[in-house]
Amino acid sequence: MKHYDEEFFNKMLDDEITAEEKELFFVHIKECTACREQYRLFQSAHTLLLSLTEITAPEEINNLVLKKIMKPAAKKKNEKRFFITVLSGLTVMLLAIFGIVAKFGGTEPKGGNGLFDNLGNFKFDTSILNKILSPFSSISKLISPDSVLLVTLLLSSILVFFLIERTKKN
């Protein structure tokens, strides 16, 4: 008599056997004690494995992991914030210089005494500034100086507002 092998018992457990084959098997184990015993043992092993339970992870695992991952995350965020602040600061400075040149560029100090001219306005000596900032000056001459100053002030205010908002969020 040909006995059934381990592969067959495993297939029985995984329900990979046709109804016909199953019928033949059950007829066989009615007569064959060896195969019946082997099949029962496999069934017991399968049932035992089905009772496999979860092993509880240590309680502190979340905190330990969060500590590890939050450090680099915070560092990365700080670096980003620093970069944005520097970039914004530089933009504001550039816009301010651009605005000043647009307003005063190309004008020579008018007469008057001390810090004020004849009209009583603050006297701004732009002769040195003009030399340094001549490229800006030539661009700004193309546009109306007052409107450039206005736009500069507006953009600067928006930037400052965003910077404050960002700092608040973080």
Partner 1 sequence: MIKTNNLENKNSVSETPQRTRTLSGRKPDDLEVIRSVREGNTSDFSILMDRYKNKAFSLILRMLKNRMDAEEVLQDCFVKAWKNLDSFKGDSQFATWFYRIVYNTTLTKLTGKKRETEKEMLSIGEDVDIRDEHADTSAATLERNRLLGALIAMLTPNQAAVVNLFYLDGLSCEEIAGILDTNVGNVKTLLHRSRATLKNLIQKKNLHEELR
Smallest distance, partner 1 to C-beta of residue 108, A:
53
Smallest distance, partner 1 to C-beta of residue 81, A:
11
* # residues contacting partner 1 (CB under 8 A): 34
Query: Quick one: what does residue 35 bind among partner 1, Zn ion, none, with the CB cut-off 5 to 8 Å set by partner type?
Result: Zn ion
Query: Quick one: what does residue 170 bind among Zn ion, partner 1, none, with the CB cut-off 5 to 8 Å set by partner type?
Result: partner 1
Taking CB under 8 A as the criterion, the residue among 18, 19, 20, 48 binding partner 1 is 48
Smallest distance, partner 1 to C-beta of residue 54, A:
4
User: Using CB under 8 A, which of the segments 21-29, 54-62, 92-100, 132-140 binds partner 1?
Assistant: 54-62
Taking CB under 8 A as the criterion, the residue among 24, 27, 34, 41 binding partner 1 is 41
Beta strands in the chain (DSSP E): none
Q: Residue 58: left if φ>0, alpha if ψ -120 to 50, beta else—which one?
A: beta
* Distance (Å, whole) CA 28 – CA 125: 113
DSSP 8-class letter at 79: H
Decide if 148 contacts 99 (C-beta within 8 A): yes
Q: Residues in the chain, how many?
A: 170
Smallest distance, partner 1 to C-beta of residue 53, A:
6
Mutual angle of helices 6-13 and 19-31, in 10-degree steps: 120
Decide if 139 contacts 105 (C-beta within 8 A): no
